[in-house]
Amino acid sequence: MISAPGMAERAQQRLRSAALLIAVVSTGGHTTGACGDAGLFGSSEPLEIRIEAPWRQLTRRMEAGRSAAGKLIYGTASSEESSLEVSISTRGTSRLEVCDFPLLTLEMRAEEIVDSPFAGQRVVHLTTQCRREPGFRDNLVLEYLSYQAYRLLGEPGLGVRMALVDYLDTEGKRSAESALAFFLEDLDLAAARLGGVRLEPETVPVDAWAPETLALLGLFQFMLGNTDWSAHRGPPGEPCCHNLAVFGPTAAEPDLTPVPFDLDSTGLVDPPYAAPVESLPIDSVRQRLYRGFCASNSLLPAAVARIQATRADLVALFENDPFLDSSSKKRARKYLDSYFDVLDDPKKLKKRVLGYCR
């Protein structure tokens, strides 16, 4: 984040210049979101907003569940601003221990959002920049693009929308700040959009998942360098699954849909705080470790072919993003190339993927 009004204004001008590019570069001049979403997640153009709230009160202690009333103002790039009353609450677990600014949940009044960009999204989450240092902005963008990448593969995923945010402290106790953030679709609303509900079973057996989706999910997580997920159970005392939502008609019916989230602690994003679980045979999140299931092995050839067919689009997704600096683009490209080196080589695929299935 950029502090102080003058610096915040200059930063916002730079962000707006990038916003003018993103609608053209990443969508060929169109602003239609992935998978035909409507409303908030139906556009790739960054949304410019201002959130007025007692930020000092919300961030004085980094803990989940702190809440306050505030206002969300949109249309800040034009002369016609509109305001929404919002209830703001902090969320997150591990990020609260390492970040200077919390993840947020915004709740709005259904009657107020009907004619706004937030129509149908009474609850929406805001993934914020963890710390002020510039590298954390690229971490944020890479996580945002990871969500886009999953949906680029044609799988049901959460909607995301980049935002240029001005944070204004209503009590005057914290300097004005401007930063990138991205809106993330609420799990219950996403499940309803996809024609189901979000389920919270204690565990999920492998054969309850939609098999083709599970096969692709394992390869997708391997692409990101993500070992921080589980499709079988959640953390102690929590329902299934870890960093993976369960969507379906009922928990008793087969072909449940896994939907990944919390894509920050990966080799692709590689934030300073990310580290693999000590029990895993890797020393860094940059080292890939396949965590898919042996039950998916027969479906992997089709899943590999599907991902290979989207290679050019996946590479372009990262290389054409105007918010990533050149060094982050090169690093992301190198990491993606190393992934496709495995997929393109039957021997490496057998050793690195089939040989590590669970």
Whether 297 and 303 have beta carbons less than 8 Å apart is answered as no
Alpha helices in 26-133 (DSSP H): 55-59, 94-98
Q: What digits encode the pLDDT tens for the residues 232-251?
A: 999 999 999 999 999 998 76
pLDDT classification of 28: cutoffs 50, 70, 90: very low
Position 79 scores a pLDDT of: 66
The answer to whether residue 118 scores a pLDDT higher than 50 is yes
| Strands of the 197-199 sheet, one edge to the other | 197-199, 244-248, 257-260
Quick one: CA dihedral 263, 269, 273, 275, positive or negative? positive
Quick one: CA dihedral 270, 7, 20, 116, positive or negative? positive
Return the SS3 of 168: strand
Position 29 scores a pLDDT of: 35
More confident residue, 16 or 298: 298
126/307 Cα distance (integer angstroms): 29
Lowest mean pLDDT among 25-29, 122-126, 294-298: 25-29
| Structural domains present in the chain | 2-191 (no CATH), 195-356 (1.10.1070)
Percentage of the chain lying above the pLDDT 90 cut: 79
- SS3 of 110-148: the string is CCCCCCCCCCCCCEEEEEECCCCCHHHHHHHHHHHHHHH
Position 148 scores a pLDDT of: 97
Lowest mean pLDDT among 173-177, 187-191, 240-244: 173-177
**What are the φ and ψ backbone dihedral angles of 101, each rounded to 5 degrees?**
-135, 135
Position 37 scores a pLDDT of: 62
259/241 Cα distance (integer angstroms): 10
The answer to whether residue 146 scores a pLDDT higher than 60 is yes
pLDDT classification of 63: cutoffs 50, 70, 90: confident
The answer to whether residue 88 scores a pLDDT higher than 80 is yes
What mean pLDDT, rounded, does the chain reach? Answer: 89
The residue type at 15: L
The answer to whether residue 349 scores a pLDDT higher than 90 is yes
pLDDT classification of 297: cutoffs 50, 70, 90: very high
Burial of 79 (C-beta count, 10 Å sphere; 0-12/13-18/19+): exposed
Position 38 scores a pLDDT of: 65
Return the SS3 of 47: strand
The answer to whether residue 256 scores a pLDDT higher than 80 is yes
The answer to whether residue 20 scores a pLDDT higher than 60 is no
Nearest C-alpha neighbor of 137 from the set 92, 180, 94: 180
345/339 Cα distance (integer angstroms): 10
248/191 Cα distance (integer angstroms): 8
The residue type at 167: Y
CA angle 93, 96, 101 (to 5 degrees): 140
Q: How much is the average pLDDT of 148-156?
A: 95
